[in-house]
Amino acid sequence: MYTMKRPMKWLVAVMILTLILAGCGSGNSAPQGQASNASAKPESGNANAAKETAPAPVTLKFNNNNKRLTDEQFKLMIADPVKKKYPYITVEMTKRDFKDIQNIPVEGSNMDLTNFWDGEMSGFLVYDLLTDLRPYIKKTNFDLNRYQENMIEPSMGGKGEIYGVPYSYNADVLFYNKDLLDKFGVSYPKDGLTWDDMVDYGKKIYRVDNGTTYYGFNYDSEYRLFTPLSLGVVNEAQKKAIVNTDQWAKVTNMMLALVDAQGGKRQDKFNPEFLEKRVAAMGVNVTQGLMKAVAAEKQGLNWDVAQAPSWKERPNTFGFADIHEMGILKTSKHPDDAMKVIEVFLSDENQKLFASKYAMLSPMKGNQFTDVYAKEIPELQNKRLSSIFKSHPAKFPEFGLGQTFDASRAILRNHIFDVLDHKTDTNTALSRRFALCQARFASNRFRTTCSGGRGSQSRLVPLHSFP
């Protein structure tokens, strides 16, 4: 009996121990299971919440006004990076010329974004197409302090509205033909020249050689001379012409000196005089002309650049920045998403790409944009590109240019031509300009050009300041 009891005791002990261990295991596994289930439920809940709050797919229409961006630029700097950062947004590009903008409200009811040159802004405002971006700038904390001085002002309306944000700009630059200067034994232009210096260059080079007339300097247009002095033509707020001033007389007389130094022929066509005919030894134009000069170099033009000439009292200052901007159209049903597109397009990464790959000047502050300028363009590596950055844009007139600027500038130009052609004197021309502009104001009708002053599309509209 004894031998039977001990195994029985061991068996009972083993059974008790097994139950204890099973109980411990059961006690531990239950909370783990509950914890796992508890953690799984919130994850499932988050997934459902994310599904409920995920933005619905949106397709935005971008109007590539006058084809200012290439298909490659649109893909690299807008379509692809927007899709990467905001997968629900698809941006599609349309190509409507500026002269057709009056049809946007009818045909483009779902158009969201457009780019434009600052000289075209008045035309968009005539048709009440641009959205004031200030609420969206504030909502997204879009940092306007990134911009260089005098870049935002051309985008503003009379009451502080911001109708576009700059993504690139053109600066004035002095182009010169090395072969012509060598031919006539004239030194290449240095940086820091003044308009008086350009008169001297005109005198040195102007001549007829083997039946061909050569000119020293092509000034392109009166715009290159009056904008560095921050001169306006009309003050719309006061309905007053502002062309009969000493400063305007100074500009007109300087242009007359430039013309008289070169045989009395107006030198106001950079192309073809400099690029194609190659009869002008030097010419002032914008940086966008760099790639045109590259193309001309393949046809034999031996060229380089220097800093644009300036007025003695305004050293290192060219005219108003020729700004390219992006804005949101009032026809957009998705302005918040459109602002996201603008933010992506204007990222530092894209600004550096635009500068290095396409030689487009960035309106942003910082050496990171100037240091990479045109670095990916082999034909520009041996040019004096650093000269471009020695000048800065002039300040915009305090009252802006207004919607009548193009028309009033046309009046201005015609009277300047009369002076340059020696049909009248400067003082008489100034008085005539003033009288004609005032007559337009008095009748409350002004021809407002919807072409940025570069085309023929225009209509008569009641005079008014920016809305």
What pLDDT is attached to residue 104? 67
- What element of type H or E holds 241? strand 240-241
CATH code 3.40.190.10 for 58-169+322-380? yes
- pLDDT tier at 401, thresholds 50, 70, 90: low
Give this prediction's pTM.
Answer: 0.81
Which homologous superfamily does the CATH classification assign to the domain defined by 172-320+403-462? Periplasmic binding protein-like II (3.40.190.10)
What pLDDT is attached to residue 431? 86
Mean pLDDT (whole number) for 164-179: 97
Q: Which residue has the higher pLDDT, 106 or 233?
A: 233
Distance, CA of 24 to CA of 362 (rounded, Å): 70
Answer yes or no: are the C-beta atoms of 391 and 284 closer than 8 Å: no
- pLDDT tier at 415, thresholds 50, 70, 90: confident
Single-letter amino acid code for the residue at 455: G
- Is residue 23's pLDDT more than 60? no
Least confident of 11-15, 60-64, 78-82, 101-105: 11-15
Residue 156 CB partners (closer than 8 Å, separation 6+): 162, 163, 400
Output the CA–CA distances (angstroms, integers) from residue 60 to 141, 164, 262, 340, in the order listed.
22, 17, 53, 11
CB contact burial 231-256 (16+ within 10 A = b; e otherwise): bbbbbbeebebbbbeeebbbbbebbb
What pLDDT is attached to residue 189? 97
What pLDDT is attached to residue 51? 53
Token pair of 450 as six digits? 């919807």
**Direct distance between the N- and C-terminal alpha carbons of the chain, in angstroms, rounded to an integer:** 114
Q: What is the pLDDT of residues 350-399, one digit of tens each?
A: 999 999 999 999 999 999 999 999 999 999 999 999 999 999 999 887 65
What pLDDT is attached to residue 31? 40
- The count of other CB atoms within 10 Å of the CB of residue 11 is 10
Q: How many CA atoms lie within 13 A of 289 on its CB side?
A: 23
- Burial of residue 186 (CB within 10 Å: 0-12, 13-18, 19+) is middle
- pLDDT tier at 184, thresholds 50, 70, 90: very high
Backbone angles phi, psi at 222, to 5 degrees: -65, -20
Q: Which residue has the higher pLDDT, 138 or 48?
A: 138
Output the CA–CA distances (angstroms, integers) from residue 353 to 145, 382, 385, in the order listed.
21, 20, 17
Mean pLDDT (whole number) for 207-236: 89
- Is residue 144's pLDDT more than 90? yes
Q: Where are the domains positioned within the chain?
A: 58-169+322-380, 172-320+403-462
Least confident of 40-49, 180-189, 319-328: 40-49
- Is 58-169+322-380's fold the same as 172-320+403-462's? yes
- Average pLDDT of every residue of the chain: 82
- Is residue 447's pLDDT more than 80? no
Distance, CA of 433 to CA of 249 (rounded, Å): 12
Q: How many CA atoms lie within 13 A of 186 on its CB side?
A: 24
What pLDDT is attached to residue 18? 47
- Is residue 403's pLDDT more than 90? no
Q: What is the pLDDT of residues 297-338, one digit of tens each?
A: 999 999 999 999 999 999 999 998 889 999 999 999 999 999
Q: What is the pLDDT of residues 88-134, one digit of tens each?
A: 999 999 887 766 676 666 555 678 999 998 878 877 888 888 999 99
Q: What is the pLDDT of residues 264-310, one digit of tens each?
A: 988 778 888 899 999 999 999 999 999 999 999 999 999 999 999 99
- Length, in residues, of the chain: 467
